[in-house]
Amino acid sequence: MSLLAPPVAAPFGALVAACQARGELVVQPRMGFADPAAMRAGLLATGAARAATIGTVTLDSYTRVGDHGAVRQALAAGADLNGYPLVDHDHDVTAAMLAGLGFPVQVRHGSADPRRIVLALLDHGLHATEGGPVSYCLPYSRTPLATAVEHWRQACALLAAHPDAHLETFGGCMMGQLCPPSLLVALSVLEGMFFWEHGIRCISFSYAQQTHPGQDEEALAALRTLIGRYVPHARAHMVVYTYMGVYPRTPGGALGLLAESARLAVRAGAGRLIVKTTAEAHRLPTVAENVAALEYAAAAARSAHRRSSTADTGVLAEATDLIDNVLSLDDDLGTALVKAFATGQLDVPFCLHPDNAGRARGYLDAEGRLRWQRVGAMPIAAGPPGPDRITAAGLLDALRFVERRFDSTSLEWSGP
């Protein structure tokens, strides 16, 4: 066991709360390198950025699916991995990589079975991670949902034994695009409730920036209301993800979208923003590009102001109906989630997991708002009349809506 100093100077949730109290948005990169020296350099650069930051260690895809034999083989051969293999790297190597950073680090992974990951991060003095039994199962695996729920029950129990444990729901980011926001909000709250039910007391609730700024503000206002209603005692904050769909290809377009996400986070009262860079449409970003994105987002956030009210187009009512319906299915929330998906009472558009009914569909209206074309068996109403059917060409056109909007105005972009 290494005697090196642990990485964290303040608990994850406490740092975000302190920054919120002084009106500062915390910004965080998506960053993961297999090489410990590169990973440490990335973390140090994140901590040195001119912004309030939290570090990220994103794990590799073999670790995500539990193929530890492939990880060890890659490490032995000196082959590159697309993230940091936390579970299988030598313990002292990772301890040295993390030693004395002085700021919180979150482990991000994408696994339907995070138990070994949680044991490894706790062993290294880390206490923050993210995901959820639905959001890290349906998009990323073929694991049966009931199995993922049990895995996440056990992972929560492991993590909850530490007083500084923090879990971030990924439910507000399901599929990243073309999912009307009421379902994203409902899933984020339901996963947060699941975490609370299994002992986690410090929770962040995610929401991914979508296609219409006004609708996003409404969604985040609904999320804030529902956190207070269903998880009132949690030490909680909201986290916004910069748009996760097809990203602008021009630097100006990418920066414009990043700045809009930062201002959205501030206007909605979120505590944290997960950023994207100008390289997203082309390749994995460098450390320097990540730092530039952190600093750019922080500058954009400083020019924004919290709003006290938003329009009401029904996002809160729909999300409430979805949550209350799930809660009526079983006294145990994990069991209720499994039942809801088995009967199509929760149904994620364009998600191909065998446990997802696949009958719901969203579409973009003329204003760029996400609407329900079909709701399947979900206990909500479809939106205003949309297309009778969504063709492949129509789907691709909708997926590129944000890219086109920002790239078409990129030459006019002059800064945050």
- Do 11 and 127 meet the contact criterion of CB atoms below 8 Å apart? yes
User: How far, in Å, are 67, 328, 332, 378 from residue 85 at the CA level?
Assistant: 11, 40, 34, 39
Q: β-strands 370-374, 361-364: how paired?
A: antiparallel
| Mean pLDDT value of segment 347-373 | 92
Would you place residue 404 in the very low, low, confident or very high pLDDT band (cuts 50, 70, 90)? confident
**DSSP state, 376?**
T
Residue with tokens 């748009």: 243
Q: State the number of CA atoms in the 13 A half-sphere of 333 facing the CB.
A: 19
Q: Is 365 helix (H, G, I), strand (E, B) or coil?
A: coil
Would you place residue 2 in the very low, low, confident or very high pLDDT band (cuts 50, 70, 90)? very low
Q: In this structure, how many other beta carbons lie within 10 angstroms of the beta carbon of residue 232?
A: 9
| Mean pLDDT value of segment 49-77 | 94
- Do 1 and 91 meet the contact criterion of CB atoms below 8 Å apart? yes
Q: What is the pLDDT of residues 380-401, one digit of tens each?
A: 987 666 666 677 777 777 777 6
User: How far, in Å, are 41, 101, 275 from residue 291 at the CA level?
Assistant: 12, 16, 10
Rounded distance between C-alpha atoms, residue 286 and residue 269, angstroms: 30
Would the pLDDT of 240 be above 90?
A: yes
Q: Is 243 helix (H, G, I), strand (E, B) or coil?
A: coil
Average pLDDT of the residues of the chain: 90
The whole-number pLDDT of residue 22 equals 93
Q: What is the pLDDT of residues 299-345, one digit of tens each?
A: 999 988 888 777 888 999 999 999 999 999 999 999 999 999 999 99
H or E stretch covering 325:
helix 315-327
Would the pLDDT of 156 be above 80?
A: yes
| Mean pLDDT value of segment 45-52 | 96
Q: What is the pLDDT of residues 90-136, one digit of tens each?
A: 999 999 999 999 899 999 999 999 999 999 999 999 999 999 999 99
Would the pLDDT of 3 be above 50?
A: no
Would the pLDDT of 8 be above 60?
A: no
Q: Which domains does the chain have, with CATH numbers?
A: 12-302 (3.20.20.240), 319-402 (no CATH)
Give the length of the chain.
416
Q: Is 166 helix (H, G, I), strand (E, B) or coil?
A: strand
Nearest one of 398, 24, 365, 379 to 182, comparing CA atoms:
379
Would the pLDDT of 1 be above 50?
A: no
The whole-number pLDDT of residue 102 equals 87
Phi first, then psi: what are they for 272, rounded to 5°?
-150, 150
The whole-number pLDDT of residue 39 equals 97
Rounded distance between C-alpha atoms, residue 59 and residue 100, angstroms: 21
- Flag the least confident range among 162-176, 186-200, 285-299: 162-176
